[in-house]
Amino acid sequence: MLIRTADRVLGRPEGADDDLITFVTDRKGHDMRYAIDSTKLKEELGWEPSLQFEEGIEKTVRWYLDNQEWLDNVTSGDYLKYYEKMYK
């Protein structure tokens, strides 16, 4: 869903980057399904999600595309220099 959303937002044909998906062999003990039960959050705190999952994925993709400088700084590894300096 993430790659297809990015393709759509970038104006690429559907499935253009599906080759970026790499399937790996399942390993013992690997969860076959991930789910969140937010019942307790709703009942005890009155919380409800403000977005549907698909809408949240699209907003996230758009944020990263709109904040390329931030992404470049994070992926460059320069932040490691900060940690080395601060926690040496």
Burial class of residue 4 in the structure, from the number of CB atoms within 10 Å of its CB (0-12 exposed, 13-18 middle, 19+ buried)? middle
**Measured CA angle at 51 (ends 35, 15), to 5 deg:** 75
pLDDT of residue 88: 82
Tokens 């998906």 appear where?
A: 21
Measured distance CA(80)–CA(78) in Å, rounded? 5
Q: Is 35 or 57 the better-scoring residue by pLDDT?
A: 57
Q: Yes or no: is domain 2-87 CATH 3.90.25? A: yes
Q: Where do the domains of the chain lie?
A: 2-87
Query: Any idea which residue has 């940690």 for tokens?
Result: 83
pLDDT at 58: 97
User: Cα separation of 6 and 56, whole Å?
Assistant: 12
The model's pLDDT over 43-65, given as tens digits with 9 standing for 90+, comes to 999 999 999 999 999 999 999 99
Whole-structure pTM over 0.85, yes or no? no
Share of the chain above pLDDT 90, in %: 60
pLDDT digits (tens, 9 = 90+) for 5-28: 999 999 999 889 999 999 888 888
pLDDT value of residue 33: 76
Helix count and strand count (H, E) for the chain: 5, 0
